[in-house]
Homo-oligomer: A and B are copies of this chain.
Amino acid sequence: MAAKIIDGKAIAEEMRQEIADQASQLKLEVGLAPGLAAVLVGEDPASATYVRMKRRACEKVGIESFGHELPADASQEEVEELVRELGEDPKVHGILVQLPLPDHIDEESVLNTVPLEKDVDGFHPVNIGRLTMKNREPLFIPCTPHGVIELLEQAGAKFEGAEAVVLGRSNIVGLPVAMLLLHRNCTTTICHSRTKDLPAVTSEADILIAAVGQPEMVKADWVKPGAYVIDVGTNRVDDVSAKRGYRLTGDVDFDEVKEVAGALSPSPGGVGPMTITMLLQNTLRSAQRALL
């Protein structure tokens, strides 16, 4: 039986339409659009591309986007001063500090400068602390983990009592997604590069999240028949037949796993479009909280 393919692009598109409607209603009611400020330090081309994509996505749904660029040799104080100014700007409801920052910058200290109520990335230590603890609500849920949950919900996954396995333990995906699954009453396992027998662990999962950054690592025999599988990986692999000389692929061997899983989100086209969507949603919510 072939898996149901979870179409992240379509789900994201529908959510963005809803966000656009609410943003235009907000503007009608209070005369101000939600605003997102993006801070880019240095000239890393991948980071510049991400910021450009996010700003373009903002414009499409009626969220005002403010770009702020600092040179690669900007000082800690300069970066934090900019973030503080944005923190006080009433037109800015969300502040996005594009990571990674240059090596000489203390990342945690910069993130601490983002006011909690504008932390639309959800990476402020207080937000992560609240996300971890039971009965404490973070003001914002980090975007990629939130997108993973949204895909599972829309695909009809049952969380209660399910065995969830998260492959990968990064601060931005693996750890927070594990906490979100746990709070939804999954029995939750986090496995990683030091796990002794990965396929033995992952093949127990009713819900499997792959977030390790290893191209097509998850094979058919790693997956329990009927499982919900979300592929968070986006890896470049060389491909001479491709125009760019490479193609993008997930952490899951799509062709194999789609014959076993009950539902599967592809990569690209699954979690990717959801991440920016959740950023837009967080920014909208922040503006609604501040303005209504």
Query: A175 interface residue, CB < 8 Å from B?
Result: yes
A134 touches B175 (CB 8 A): yes
Residue of B nearest to A182 (CB): B190
Query: A24 interface residue, CB < 8 Å from B?
Result: no
Cβ-defined partner of A132 (8 Å) among B128, B134, B185, B196: B128
Please measure, in the bound complex, the distance between the C-alpha atom of A171 and the C-alpha atom of B129, giving whole angstroms: 10
Residue of B nearest to A178 (CB): B190
How near does chain B come to A284, taking the closest CB pair, in angstroms? 25
Query: A194 interface residue, CB < 8 Å from B?
Result: yes
List B contacts of A175 (CB < 8 A): 132-134
B191 touches A190 (CB 8 A): no
Query: A127 interface residue, CB < 8 Å from B?
Result: yes
Residue of B nearest to A183 (CB): B169
Cβ-defined partner of A161 (8 Å) among B130, B169, B185, B194: B194
List B contacts of A169 (CB < 8 A): 134, 182
Residue of B nearest to A189 (CB): B189
Please measure, in the bound complex, the distance between the C-alpha atom of A169 and the C-alpha atom of B129, giving whole angstroms: 14
Residue of B nearest to A116 (CB): B125
Residue of B nearest to A171 (CB): B133
Please measure, in the bound complex, the distance between the C-alpha atom of A190 and the C-alpha atom of B163, giving whole angstroms: 10
How near does chain B come to A70, taking the closest CB pair, in angstroms? 24
Please measure, in the bound complex, the distance between the C-alpha atom of A135 and the C-alpha atom of B175, giving whole angstroms: 13
B189 touches A185 (CB 8 A): no
Chain A 93-132 near chain B by CB (<8 Å), digits 1 or 0:
0000000000000001000000000000000111111111
A189 touches B187 (CB 8 A): yes
Please measure, in the bound complex, the distance between the C-alpha atom of A170 and the C-alpha atom of B179, giving whole angstroms: 12
A195 touches B125 (CB 8 A): no
Cβ-defined partner of A125 (8 Å) among B129, B163, B201: B129
The 3 closest A-B pairs by CB, nearest first: A129-B129, A125-B129, A128-B129
A residues contacting B by CB (< 8 A) are 108, 124-136, 160-161, 163, 169-171, 175, 179, 182, 185, 187-192, 194-196, 201
Seed contacts A135-B171, A189-B190; 14 additional CB < 8 Å A-B pairs: A108-B136, A124-B129, A125-B130, A128-B129, A128-B133, A131-B132, A132-B175, A133-B171, A185-B194, A187-B191, A187-B192, A187-B194, A187-B201, A188-B189
